[in-house]
A and B are shown apart, each in its own frame.
Chain A
Amino acid sequence: DAKTTQPPSMDCAEGRAANLPCNHSTISGNEYVYWYRQIHSQGPQYIIHGLKNNETNEMASLIITEDRKSSTLILPHATLRDTAVYYCIPRGAGNMLTFGGGTRLMVKP
């Protein structure tokens, strides 16, 4: 599995966009980039995933660089409930998810 590098923590003002970066320079061609988040004392929640095209859903947008070595998760209008640890996980189809340290996002009023 590809290794990832995420900043350990970030702050964001409520109502502003939160941009969470992830470096996955060793990602292989068949690995998707998955994003999950974990709110305190809960199980992880699936957010979004992509292979090479940018993706958007009701929760977030995922921007993947052309060389696929990095990606950015965008929460367009962060709320206090978005405070959580965000995990970027490259994963091949059928493989298990391996969690790294993630980014602790603190949304502040």
Chain B
Amino acid sequence: GAVVSQHPSWVICKSGTSVKIECRSLDFQATTMFWYRQFPKQSLMLMATSNEGSKATYEQGVEKDKFLINHASLTLSTLTVTSAHPEDSSFYICSARSGAWEAFFGQGTRLTVV
């Protein structure tokens, strides 16, 4: 299958700082990228959907000013967690899709805010 690379795999940051997570589609052009969050022992929860060159669409309850999403090219999307707090500690996963076909996932980023 297609390859989606997410970086970093894990990050520890201090409370109040911002963290940027990158998601790249390595061998295809991703017209749509998705960002998910997963808390321990829970399923993936969709945070937002972004189409290249457009503003992201956020799911209900997800603060767009706190979770900044940029999808400036067909191979790169970034998620910035601004002013991170311990409750933002989670496993963040991106997914990329070309057209209507199946989506492929990155390996995830474990964020720990201390």
Interface SS majority for chain B? strand
**Does B61 interact with chain A (Cβ within 8 Å)?**
no
- Contact A44:B105 (CB < 8 A) given known A93-B100, A97-B95: yes
Is A96 a contact of B46 with CB atoms below 8 Å? yes
Stretch at the interface among A10-18, A21-29, A65-73, A98-106: A98-106
Is B49 a contact of A46 with CB atoms below 8 Å? no
Is B100 a contact of A99 with CB atoms below 8 Å? no
Is A43 a contact of B102 with CB atoms below 8 Å? no
Q: Which residue of B lies closest to A102 (CB)?
A: B43
Q: What is the distance, in angstroms, from B91's C-beta to the closest C-beta of chain A?
A: 7
Q: How far is the CA of A74 from the CA of B103 in the complex (A)?
A: 21
Q: What is the distance, in angstroms, from B57's C-beta to the closest C-beta of chain A?
A: 10
Total A-B Cβ pairs within 8 A: 49
Interface residues on B, range: 20 to 34
Q: How far is the CA of A87 from the CA of B95 in the complex (A)?
A: 15
Of residues A36, A43, A46, A100, which shows the largest number of chain B Cβ atoms within 10 Å of its Cβ? A43
Contact of A43 among B6, B45, B46, B99 (CB under 8 A): B6
- Report A74-108 residues with CB < 8 Å from chain B CB: 87, 93-94, 96-102
Interface residues on A, range: 20 to 34
Is A42 a contact of B49 with CB atoms below 8 Å? no
Is A43 a contact of B103 with CB atoms below 8 Å? no
Is A46 a contact of B107 with CB atoms below 8 Å? no
Known: A34-B102, A45-B105, A96-B103. 16 other contacts (CB 8 A): A41-B108, A43-B6, A43-B107, A43-B108, A44-B95, A46-B103, A46-B104, A49-B102, A96-B34, A96-B49, A97-B46, A97-B103, A98-B46, A99-B36, A99-B44, A102-B43
A-B residue pairs in contact (CB < 8 Å), sample of 9? A42-B107, A43-B6, A44-B95, A46-B104, A93-B100, A96-B34, A97-B46, A99-B45, A100-B43
